[in-house]
């Protein structure tokens, strides 16, 4: 049951994402990509749960590595996107 809900959600999100991203002007494609870097770090939520409930020491270690990597994406991605977007200014104010 849960698997099917996930699968349906996957396709809905992919479709909605496709429509939204198509509207982003080429002017902002670089910040868009770094923003997507940040979002791909969402896997951190899976990493947190997997690490917390892992039994083996090895699993815990690997889980911790995954948390570090995913958090780099989330924090680094959002920050660098903000840094870039801050710079975009209009000519005539």
Partner 1 sequence: MSAISYKIIELVCVLGIVSGIRLMNSPKTARTGNLLGAACMLIAIITIMISDEIFSLNILRISLVLGAVIGCLLAVYVTMTRIPQLVALLNGSGGAASAIVAFVVLTDSSAAISGIAKFTGAIALVVGSVTFGGSLVAVAKLDGKISPLPVVLRGHFILNLLTLIGTVILIPLVTISSSNAATMLSVLLIVISLIFGILFSIRVGGADMPIAISLLNSLSGIAAATVGLATSNLLVVAVGAIVGSAGIVLTQIMCRAMNSRILDVLTGKTALSTATQMALSSVGQDSSPQTSRSTPTAENISAVLNKATAIIGAAKKIIIVPGYGMALAQAQVQVKQLLAILEAKGKQVKFAIHPVAGRMPGHMNVLLAEVEVPYDKLYPMEAINPEFKETDVALVVGANDVVNPAARTAEGTPIYGMPVLSVDEADYVIICNKDTCPGYAGVNNPLYLPRQNTIVLLGDAAETLSILLEKL
Q: What's the min distance (Å) between Cβ of 17 and partner 1?
A: 3
Closest distance of CB 15 from partner 1, Å: 7
Number of residues engaging partner 1 in binding (CB under 8 A): 85
Give the residue from 42, 32, 34, 44 showing the smallest Cα distance to 80. Answer: 34
Residues 15-74 that bind partner 1 (CB under 8 A): 15-18, 20-56, 59-60, 62-74
Cα angle value 66/69/73 (rounded, 5°): 135
Strands (E), the chain: none
Tokens (6 digits) for 63: 């889980």
For the CB of residue 4, give the shortest distance to partner 1 in the complex, in Å.
9
What is the DSSP code string of 51-82? HHH--SHHHHHHHHHHHHHHHIIIIIHHHHHH
Q: How far is the CB of 38 from partner 1 (least distance, A)?
A: 7
């Amino acid at each position: 049951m849960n698997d099917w809900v996930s699968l349906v959600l996957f396709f809905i999100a992919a479709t909605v994402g496709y429509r939204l991203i198509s509207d982003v002007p080429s002017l902002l494609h670089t910040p868009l990509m770094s923003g997507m870097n940040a979002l791909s770090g969402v896997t951190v939520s899976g990493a947190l749960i997997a690490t917390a409930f892992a039994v083996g020491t090895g699993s815990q270690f690997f889980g911790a590595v995954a948390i570090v990597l995913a958090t780099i994406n989330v924090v680094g991605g959002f920050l660098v996107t903000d840094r870039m977007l801050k710079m975009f200014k209009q000519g005539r104010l």
